[in-house]
C-alpha cells in the first residue's frame, strides 16, 4: 500500500530563511512547527523536504555542501522524535553561472518534479498527500503533483501572482496550525468514508 506524505519546503517554512545558507550552525527550526510535525508523523504521514537550491547553480556552494544541511535538519528533528523520510532538492536555475546546473528543469518548483521523484522512490500516493510551503511556487508544485496544499503565510510571498495552480486550500501562520487543519479537517472525513 502506498504511503501518504507531507512535503515541506525548507527555507522559510521548516527553518528560518537565511538566503543561500549552508552553514549548519546557522540552521534553526521555525517557530511553532514541532508539535504539528509530531502529530503528522503520529497520523502516519511521511515528512519529506522538497527545496529549490539555486545557490548550486549560482556557484555559491556545491551539492556536497548540502549534505551537512540535511544532517543538521535530521538532528534537529530527531531531538523531538521526528523522523525525516526524505530530502529532495533542485540545484538548477536557468540564470545560473555553473554550466552543469544552468537549465530549465522539471524539478525546480513550481515544477512538480521533486514531488514526483519522492513519490516514486518512497512509494507515496500523491492524492493522499500535502505540500506545505511559504510561497506560491510551493503551492503550484503541490497542486501540479496532485497534492492538497497549505500556504504558510508568514510574509515571504510578496508577488501573489495567481493562477489555477497557485491557490492553496488553506493559509496558516505556522506548521502547527497547518497540521491542526490538515488532521482535523481531512483525517476525520477519511475515517467516515
Q: Give the contacts of 77 (CB within 8 A, at least 6 positions apart).
A: 29, 37, 47, 83, 84
Considering the candidates 11, 17, 125, 138, report the single residue annotated as catalytic.
Answer: 11
Q: Was domain 4-192 assigned CATH 3.40.50.1000?
A: yes
Considering the candidates 9, 17, 138, 153, report the single residue annotated as catalytic.
Answer: 9
pLDDT tens-digit map of 10-55: 999 999 999 999 999 999 999 999 999 999 999 999 999 999 999 9
Residue 182: what pLDDT? 96
Residue 17: what pLDDT? 94
Domain segments of the chain: what residues? 4-192
9 assigned to active site: yes
Residue 187: what pLDDT? 55
Confidence of residue 192 (pLDDT cuts 50, 70, 90): very low
Q: Is the pLDDT of residue 189 over 60?
A: no
pLDDT tens-digit map of 52-69: 999 999 999 999 999 999
d(CA 139, CA 149): 6
Lowest mean pLDDT among 133-137, 170-174, 175-179, 182-186: 182-186
179-186 contacts, C-beta under 8 A, 24 or more apart: 179/35, 179/36, 179/37, 179/39, 179/40, 180/36, 180/39, 181/150, 182/6, 182/40, 182/130, 182/148, 182/150, 183/39, 183/40, 183/43, 186/148
140-144 contacts, C-beta under 8 A, 24 or more apart: 140/109, 140/110, 140/165, 140/166, 141/50, 141/109, 141/110, 141/111, 141/112, 141/114, 141/115, 142/7, 142/112, 142/115, 144/110, 144/111, 144/112
pTM: 0.95
Average pLDDT in the chain: 95
Amino acid at each position: 500500500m502506498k504511503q501518504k506524505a507531507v512535503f515541506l519546503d525548507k527555507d522559510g517554512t521548516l527553518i528560518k530563511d537565511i538566503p543561500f545558507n549552508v552553514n549548519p550552525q546557522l540552521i534553526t527550526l521555525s517557530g511553532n512547527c514541532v508539535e504539528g510535525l509530531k502529530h503528522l508523523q503520529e497520523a502516519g504521514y511521511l515528512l519529506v523536504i522538497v527545496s529549490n537550491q539555486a545557490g548550486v547553480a549560482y556557484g555559491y556552494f556545491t551539492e556536497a555542501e548540502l549534505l551537512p544541511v540535511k544532517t543538521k535538519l535530521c538532528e534537529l528533528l530527531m531531538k523531538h522524535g521526528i523522523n525525516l523520510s526524505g530530502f529532495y532538492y533542485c540545484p538548477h536555475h536557468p540564470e545560473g553561472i555553473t554550466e552543469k546546473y544552468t537549465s530549465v528543469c522539471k524539478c525546480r518548483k513550481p515544477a512538480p518534479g521533486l514531488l514526483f521523484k519522492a513519490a516514486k522512490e518512497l512509494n507515496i500516493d500523491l492524492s493522499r498527500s500535502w505540500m506545505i510551503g511559504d510561497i506560491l511556487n510551493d503551492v503550484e508544485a503541490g497542486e501540479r503533483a496532485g497534492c492538497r496544499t497549505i500556504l504558510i503565510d508568514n510574509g515571504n510571498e510578496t508577488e501573489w501572482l495567481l493562477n489555477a495552480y497557485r491557490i492553496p486550500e488553506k493559509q496558516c501562520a505556522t506548521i502547527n496550525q497547518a497540521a491542526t487543519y490538515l488532521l482535523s479537517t481531512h483525517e476525520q472525513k477519511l475515517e467516515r468514508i
